[in-house]
Amino acid sequence: MQVLVRDNNIEQAMRVLKKKLQREGHFRELRERRQYEKPSEKRTRRKSEAVRRQRKLIRKLAQREGLIPMAPKKPPLKRSARPST
């Protein structure tokens, strides 16, 4: 994995790296490996995750077809104009 640092802006590069790691599931894997999980608990967890994904998919399809109302969109954050120094 590679992240470019522009204009010596380490904070921005760290945010980009964290997003990439989050998308690829590295944080979830670290959390899962932190302690032993019994096979029965693993099956239960995976089953509940699958049910949650399926319900989410069904809800999104129903929203697209107009059967249930769409979730209200959040207004974009307004950024204050900073005075140039």
Q: Where are the domains of the chain?
A: 1-35, 38-69
pLDDT digits (tens, 9 = 90+) for 19-58: 999 999 999 899 888 999 899 999 999 999 999 999 999 9
Average pLDDT score over the chain: 89
For residues 13 and 4, the answer to whether their CB atoms sit within 8 Å is yes
The pTM assigned to this predicted structure is 0.55
Map residue 74 onto helix, strand or coil: coil
User: Token digits for 22?
Assistant: 């989050």
Distance CA 27, CA 51 (A): 22
- The DSSP call for residue 7 is T
User: Token digits for 11?
Assistant: 């904070």
For residues 21 and 27, the answer to whether their CB atoms sit within 8 Å is yes
